[in-house]
Structure 1
Amino acid sequence: MLKKTVADLHPYVPEEPLQDLQAKLGIDKLVRLSANENPFGTSPRVKKALATATSLPLNEYPDGNANALREAVAQYLQVDPEQLLFGCGLDEIIELITRTFLEPGDEVVEPWPTFSEYKLHDQIEAAKTVDVPVTADGRVDADAMVAAITDKTKLLWLCNPNNPTGTLLKPVELEALLSRIPQHVLVLIDEAYIEFVDGVDNPSAVQFLDQFSNIVVMRTFSKIYGLAGMRVGYAVVPKSLIASMQAVRLPYNLNSVSQTLALAALDDQEFVADTKRKVVAARKSWTDFLTAQKLNFYPSQTNFIFFQVPDAAGLHDFLMHNGFLVRDRLRPDWLRVTFGSAEENAQLQKLIAEYLAAHK
């Protein structure tokens, strides 16, 4: 009875609740540094908005067009508000894109490794995903991506900065790549981590929306805004395609509380700037630490770092039993660590150094 593509799925495995893991491990505290969440919480304005959210008419449907949030985001990005598509996190946006555009037999190009949900939704629609390995230093291989495009290619996923490698295509590199992609290919640029980029002027692809009519730029409130629990994502869609995507979108998909809190979060750019400063400092700390430990890693422009280590499974288990959960199984012998507070980073680095010293 099942669709063949669904029967053969390898589903995305979400993070297990911390309390359940702690009980299994028999420990009192487990710090999750595996999900790229914001360890600094959310804006005080969000907390204030949440306190007043009880006055929202919960017996009524939310604003189906998210008009207040739409206008605020449009002003923030300097885009046409009618081009914005909102979803329950970028997860729903990804699903909407594949549902709208992919048919059985279509091909989709992506760098590899990258966010696994792209391939998951390609597969549900019976499309073929073409993985293009990143370069030796973890960067998107632009030449290989272009070479992988055929007449059957419908979509091209481009997470920038990329998850899990953390590497960035700079604007000049991105523009050069986009100029080589045929018009029949829709390029999905996932900028979930763009706010963490440092030392690069205007890194976002939003600047190329008027130049290229075949790109979609995707953003989220889950990362630097600290609203992962509220599930708010959005995309800037070409004017020629937005009506079709809105037709596929479920009505009232973004609830009233999520809209209210996202609006409050967007209004507090001081919190965003402060989070970025802390992340940049943490990134330097981890870069220095991994260099001192002589471990291979990719240069990150995100709130996490991806590094290679002998016996990654053993180190992952050791860290978990000592109170820290990091991300494994993204690539053999590699681990991804989300940056925590300065104290958490120092504690975790000490544990890693101890493990490596004991397992030389």
Structure 2
Amino acid sequence: MSCDVFALANAGVRGLQPYQPGKPIEELQRELGLSDVVKLASNENPLGPSPLALAAAERALKNLHLYPDASGFELKKKLAVKLGVSEQQFTLGNGSNDVLDLIARTFLGPGCSAVFSQHAFIVYPIAVQAVGARAIVTPAKNWGHDLAAMAAAIEADTRVVFIANPNNPTGNYLNRDELSAFLAQVPNHVMVVLDEAYIEFAAADDFPDGLKFLQSYPNIIVTRTFSKAYGLAGLRIGYGISTAETADLLNRVRAPFNVSVPALAAALAVLDDEDYLQRSQQINRDGMVQICQGLDALGLRYIPSLGNFIAVELASDAMSVYQALLREGVIVRPVGVYQMPKHLRVSIGLPHENKRFLDALKKVLSV
């Protein structure tokens, strides 16, 4: 008996390519027999986990035989106080990617469209296509979102607009006035997703906090994560903030127990570790200066970034440089899939990791 499983899948899924994460350290060690490897590929926190979060996760292990609190009551309560919203406005996710997927499943489907920018986060087209919706991709402006083009691209069947601020993988951002003017143009039948995964690193005076717009625009969903500045990427926990009505809809399709016992405990604890957050931000500021100065010395162009990463432009196709860096034990991220074939995205690491990257880059470019 044979079965054409491919034909049974829906058309959107058949056309997808799997998400390609940054190469794991262990994989490179196996492939090239290297023992000393630096990974600056996945925008992870180089400090490691917060001691408070680690201790809380360890204490939670004794409850691994029990399902987690499906509502995430304690975490929502603490987040509500911190952010000045109600507990009913949250949707917890297995990382903020999970929330983005929930948004697509809730508001999109065949006969609907979603708008997002060229060079925007790769999860947007994946989530849109998987549910059979149509993607409307607007050309980027200076590597970032062209909000005028995005507003003009909204059609009668558009239900969602995705905006990453700061944007991944380019690192640039939309300021408060730009975003405010855009939101005033969006029809009320369109949900606007403000993906703020890197907001804790965005120190510009004119950077907008998406939550400030929520009272005026109930069609906004803000997504955030514990994976970056809070150092919990391995536990996978993020959240969305919206109106209570929107959160109710998202929570109807959210999988039960989608956030684990250790993740809930660690997230709850890390919110109390202000010292860890400040150290993460300082390490990122200092590392950004270190890498930019090194790139300047090498005569390389890069996109100014408000994230914990920077996109470096090379003279030709970046894959050859990426492969050469791997042989030097340095993992960065090629971003050809983002239509940026000459760029490498480099996460900000600890000082010695940044130096290792710069030294390796200088070496491979001189060959």
Shared fold (TM-score, shorter chain, > 0.5): yes
Map of 2:104 onto structure 1: 98
Structure 2 SS opposite 1:305? strand
Amino acid at match of 1:194: I
Structure 2 SS opposite 1:297? strand
Map of 1:22 onto structure 2: 29
- Structure 2 Cα separation of the partners of residues 15 and 151 of structure 1: 37
When structure 1 is superposed on structure 2, of 25-34 and 115-124 the one drifting more is 25-34
When structure 1 is superposed on structure 2, of 80-89 and 27-36 the one drifting more is 27-36
Note if contact 1:224-1:272 (Cα within 8 Å) is conserved in structure 2.
yes
Amino acid at match of 1:165: T
Amino acid at match of 1:300: S
Map of 1:211 onto structure 2: 216
Amino acid at match of 1:238: T
Map of 2:134 onto structure 1: 128
- Structure 2 Cα separation of the partners of residues 131 and 307 of structure 1: 23
Please state if 1:2 is matched with 2:32: no
Counterpart selection for 1:236 from 234, 241, 263 = 241
Map of 2:90 onto structure 1: 84
Show CA shifts across 1:214-250 (max 9, x none).
1100000000111001110100022232222111111
Map of 1:278 onto structure 2: 283
CA 1:46 to 1:245, structure 2 compared with 1: closer, same or farther past 3 Å? same
Map of 1:43 onto structure 2: 50
Note if contact 1:309-1:334 (Cα within 8 Å) is conserved in structure 2.
yes
Map of 1:338 onto structure 2: 347
When structure 1 is superposed on structure 2, of 117-126 and 345-354 the one drifting more is 345-354
- Structure 2 Cα separation of the partners of residues 117 and 308 of structure 1: 23
Note if contact 1:102-1:127 (Cα within 8 Å) is conserved in structure 2.
yes
Map of 2:38 onto structure 1: 31
Note if contact 1:183-1:214 (Cα within 8 Å) is conserved in structure 2.
yes
Note if contact 1:197-1:203 (Cα within 8 Å) is conserved in structure 2.
no
Amino acid at match of 2:319: A
Map of 1:187 onto structure 2: 192
- Structure 1 Cα separation of the partners of residues 298 and 181 of structure 2: 36
Structure 1, unmatched stretches of 5+, are none
Structure 2 SS opposite 1:192? coil
Show CA shifts across 1:244-303 (max 9, x none).
211111112112111001101111121111110110111122222223333222110000
Structure 1 SS opposite 2:311? strand
- Structure 2 Cα separation of the partners of residues 119 and 48 of structure 1: 37
Note if contact 2:90-2:244 (Cα within 8 Å) is conserved in structure 1.
no
Structure 1 SS opposite 2:302? coil
Counterpart selection for 1:59 from 56, 62, 65 = 65
Please state if 1:224 is matched with 2:229: yes
- Structure 1 Cα separation of the partners of residues 224 and 100 of structure 2: 11
Residue correspondences, number: 356
Counterpart selection for 1:75 from 77, 81, 84 = 81
Deviation at 1:16, TM superposition (A): 4.0
Map of 2:259 onto structure 1: 254
Note if contact 2:50-2:270 (Cα within 8 Å) is conserved in structure 1.
yes
Map of 1:318 onto structure 2: 324
Please state if 1:165 is matched with 2:170: yes
- Structure 2 Cα separation of the partners of residues 213 and 355 of structure 1: 51
Structure 1 SS opposite 2:106? helix
- Structure 2 Cα separation of the partners of residues 181 and 250 of structure 1: 30
Map of 2:305 onto structure 1: 300
Amino acid at match of 2:140: V
Please state if 1:11 is matched with 2:25: no
Structure 1 SS opposite 2:167? coil
CA RMSD of superposed structures (Å): 1.4
- Structure 2 Cα separation of the partners of residues 275 and 242 of structure 1: 30
- Structure 1 Cα separation of the partners of residues 190 and 168 of structure 2: 22
- Structure 2 Cα separation of the partners of residues 202 and 270 of structure 1: 23
Structure 2 SS opposite 1:234? strand
- Structure 2 Cα separation of the partners of residues 74 and 246 of structure 1: 17
Show CA shifts across 1:75-95 (max 9, x none).
111111100000100121111
CA 1:146 to 1:202, structure 2 compared with 1: closer, same or farther past 3 Å? closer
- Structure 2 Cα separation of the partners of residues 287 and 133 of structure 1: 27
- Structure 1 Cα separation of the partners of residues 329 and 266 of structure 2: 31
Deviation at 1:180, TM superposition (A): 1.5
Deviation at 1:201, TM superposition (A): 5.5
Structure 2 SS opposite 1:157? strand
Show CA shifts across 1:142-171 (max 9, x none).
111111111121110001000001011122
Show CA shifts across 1:37-86 (max 9, x none).
11111111112213322332x22221110000010111111111100000
Note if contact 2:218-2:242 (Cα within 8 Å) is conserved in structure 1.
no
Please state if 1:348 is matched with 2:354: no
